[in-house]
Amino acid sequence: MTERKEVLDYGMTLPAVYTDAPFHDDNWVLLRFRKNKKAFAWTYEKDGTMRVNVKVDPQWRDFWRNAYPSVLPGYHQNKDHWNTVILDGTIPDQEIKRMIAESYDLIAKQK
């Protein structure tokens, strides 16, 4: 995955999801869980690459950051609970989908 559309298309396959652009800035497009309106994927371009912020269980946070140099602490978000994934083609699509799905699962549990 290297494009926003790929992230959004995958995210929209999950139940009760919608896209949102809450900042009146086309650079930021979020995927939200319809039942609680919480975002689980924040897509944006920074420094010439597309990125997605995903919520992460703190016990897995460092696993992802150590496994891939393109996974960083969450940009503009809580560094303990969010990772930024740089979509530069170095992370297998299945792993990115796994991170998005895990983020969705964390958000969907919340009220």
pLDDT tens by residue, 4-55 = 999 999 999 999 999 999 988 889 999 999 999 999 999 999 999 999 999 9
CATH of the domain at 105: 3.90.1150.30
79 touches 72 (CB < 8 A)? no
Whole-angstrom distance, CA of residue 108 vs CA of residue 46: 27
**pTM for the whole thing?**
0.95
Whole-angstrom distance, CA of residue 83 vs CA of residue 2: 16
Domain range for 73 is 4-109
As for how many domains the chain has, the answer is 1
Helix/strand/coil for 5: helix
pLDDT tens by residue, 41-74 = 999 999 999 999 999 999 999 999 999 999 999 9
